[in-house]
Amino acid sequence: MSALFEIENLRVALPDFTRKPLFGPPPRNEILRDLSFTIGRGEAIGIVGESGSGKTTLGRTLVRLLEPSGGSIKFDGADISHLDDEAMAPYRRNLQVIFQNPLSSLNPRKTVAQIIAAPLRLHGVANGRQALADHAANALRMVGLSPDLGRRYPQELSGGQRQRVGIARAIALKPSFVLADEIVSGLDMSSQAQILDLLARLKEEMNLTLAFISHDLSVVRRLCERVMVMRQGEIVELRTCAEMFAGPEHPYTQQLLAAIPLPEIDPQWLSQT
Ligand SMILES: Nc1ncnc2c1ncn2[C@@H]1O[C@H](COP(=O)(O)OP(=O)(O)O)[C@@H](O)[C@H]1O
Ligand SMILES: [Mg+2]
């Protein structure tokens, strides 16, 4: 079976408005340079690297919120590199994103149930008041929240609950791919662990393919089969978690690993995977 994503020689250049001349277009910065890799079906791939290394740009390009300036992205066998909005529409349901900051990505004037129902209606997954309510309630249960929470507003929830709502909104569509960009960064350790366990469970139950972006290798280790280490828009290493934690090849990865607090490195971890 082919990979879900096949990325070849991917390049992304974005306009740099800080250097825009008075007339004419701004110059473009090369943000991603010549990335080639695959993501298997049902695989969770971690994307790590220091701030500014291009993780978010890569994630946004995978789900085609950004267009590549070179190379190609194949999703489920189809080249989606340069599809316009209309041509992308059939793929959108399968390419879901959980955002870093749920407070800014969840509309404060909508109830939780409305927030989860909106994409369901948009993608024609459910129609009619009752069907939408049922789907939303079900999605809330799947992320371990009471359906009663559907009547509340995002700002009335805790940080962990809000992040679960973001996950519920993404998985309600039963997508094949979910991008999670730094989704546990703002949470305390115990909420982080709960969210990671939840994602691991959903991945198994729904056969999700996940790209999990984090600047923290210890977080990635809990969830992902492979880790991609990025620096300055390039892939430094891409290996299984087991290999990576047994001994990273690249000095940059060694530095990232050294930044993990020592008690986090549990000697049993390798034998568990
Ligand atoms: N919309 C944009 N336009 C121009 N440059 C951008 C844009 N977004 C990010 N960048 C630049 O791209 C580089 C990578 O950013 P980003 O993908 O956000 O990295 P990360 O998520 O790893 O912190 C940074 O140098 C950043 O300044
Ligand atoms: Mg980022």
Ligand 1: list residues with CB < 6 Å: 14, 16, 29, 31, 49, 51-57
Counting ligands in written order, the one closest to the CA of 232 is: 1
The type of residue at 26 is P
Q: How many A from CA of 127 to the centre of ligand 2?
A: 35
Cα→Cα distances 110→47, 68, 116, 151, 153, Å? 32, 34, 10, 9, 6
pLDDT at 254 (0 to 100) = 85
Confidence at residue 271, expressed as pLDDT on a 0 to 100 scale: 47
Query: Sheet containing 70-75: which strands, arranged edge to edge?
Result: 28-39, 5-15, 70-75, 78-79
| Residue of minimum CA distance from atom 17 in ligand 1 | 54
| Backbone φ, ψ for residue 219 (5° rounding) | -70, -45
Which tokens go with 236? 């430094």
pLDDT digits (tens, 9 = 90+) for 84-130: 999 999 999 999 999 887 778 889 999 999 999 999 999 999 989 99
Q: What is the pLDDT of residue 268?
A: 52
Characterise 247 by phi-psi region: left (phi > 0), alpha (psi -120 to 50), beta (else): left
DSSP state of 238: E
Which residues lie closer than 8 Å to 200 by C-beta, 6 or more apart? 44, 222, 223
Atom 16 (ligand 1) nearest CA = 54
Residue whose CA is at the smallest distance from ligand 1 atom 24: 52
Report d(CA 60, CA 42) in Å as an integer: 20
Distance 203 CA to ligand 1 centre (A): 28
What is the position in ligand 1's atom list of the atom closest to the CA of 58?
A: 17
Question: In the block, which residue shows the tokens 């939780």?
Answer: 112
Spell out, as residue ranges, where the chain has pLDDT lower than 70.
Answer: 1, 260-273
pLDDT reported for residue 259:
73
Report pLDDT for 103.
77
Ligand 1, atom nearest to 182 Cα: 21
